[in-house]
């Protein structure tokens, strides 16, 4: 069983087969035609739906779907997520990251951030040269730069702290 939250409405979903789904206790027979890898045309009873998967975040289990050209955010929880929540362990997967360390020894080519700067996940932070290749180190979290330990044009050892977050 899966709990799906579509915008602010929750549904209980159980997939019996590719053509049969139980939605909130009601069995529905589906006729699905794949138009492309991300688009399907679905018939449920006498209703027709054009469904496109816009994106899917596997870590957060959140999908963005377009159904008949209307966009929906769908949050999914499987039986394991529900069990962890019931046991009070659902928030244990959250990591608190306070720093970025050098993944390898190398030369600091450039520092892309400043102290006090607000950054988002995936923003470039430091460019580190190792084995004649430039490696862009990106922020693993949304946060604010507390301090910059790295110095441009100097070498760093593996696991040296380069950036600290607030």
Q: How does pLDDT run across 105-144, given as a tens digit for each residue?
A: 999 999 999 999 999 989 999 999 998 899 999 998 899 9
pLDDT digit string, tens, across residues 45-93:
889 999 999 998 887 888 899 999 999 999 888 888 777 777 766 555 5
Whether the CB-CB separation of 99 and 113 falls below 8 Å is answered with no
Provide the pLDDT for residue 120: 92
- The two beta strands, 155-156 and 124-130, are unpaired
- Residues 126 and 137: their CA atoms lie apart, in Å, by 5
Q: What is the CATH T-level fold of the domain 2-86, as seen in this structure?
A: Lipocalin (2.40.128)
In terms of Cα–Cα distance, which of 7, 11, 119, 8 is closest to 64? 7
Residue ranges per structural domain of the chain: 2-86, 99-165
Provide the pLDDT for residue 41: 93
For residues 96 and 149, which has the higher predicted lDDT (pLDDT)? Answer: 149
Per-residue pLDDT for 8 more than 90? no
- Residues 81 and 39: their CA atoms lie apart, in Å, by 27
Q: Tell me how crowded residue 5 is: count the other CB atoms within 10 A of its CB.
A: 14
Architecture of the domain spanning 99-165: Beta Barrel (2.40)
- Residues 42 and 53: their CA atoms lie apart, in Å, by 13
Out of 16-20, 23-27, 93-97, 113-117, the most confident range is 113-117
Q: Tell me how crowded residue 138 is: count the other CB atoms within 10 A of its CB.
A: 15
Give the confidence band of 23 by pLDDT, cuts at 50, 70, 90.
confident
SS3 annotation, 70-96: EEEEEEEECHHHHHHHHCCCCCCCCCC
In terms of Cα–Cα distance, which of 16, 115, 6 is closest to 65? 6
Provide the pLDDT for residue 95: 60
Provide the pLDDT for residue 135: 93
């Amino acid at each position: 069983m899966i709990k799906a939250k579509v915008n602010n409405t929750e549904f209980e979903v159980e997939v019996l087969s590719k053509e049969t789904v139980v939605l909130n206790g009601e069995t529905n027979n589906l006729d699905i035609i794949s138009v492309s890898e991300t688009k399907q045309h679905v018939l449920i009873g006498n209703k027709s739906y054009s469904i496109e998967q816009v994106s899917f975040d596997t870590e957060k289990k959140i999908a963005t779907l377009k159904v008949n050209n209307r966009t929906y955010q769908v949050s999914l929880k499987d039986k394991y997520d529900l069990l962890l929540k019931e046991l009070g362990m659902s928030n244990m997967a959250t990591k608190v990251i306070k720093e970025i360390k050098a993944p390898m020894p190398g030369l600091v080519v450039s520092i892309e951030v400043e102290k006090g700067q607000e950054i988002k996940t995936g923003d470039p932070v430091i460019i580190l040269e190792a084995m004649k290749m430039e490696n862009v180190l990106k922020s693993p979290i949304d946060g604010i730069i507390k301090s910059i330990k790295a110095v441009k044009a100097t070498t760093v050892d593996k696991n040296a702290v380069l950036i600290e977050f607030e």
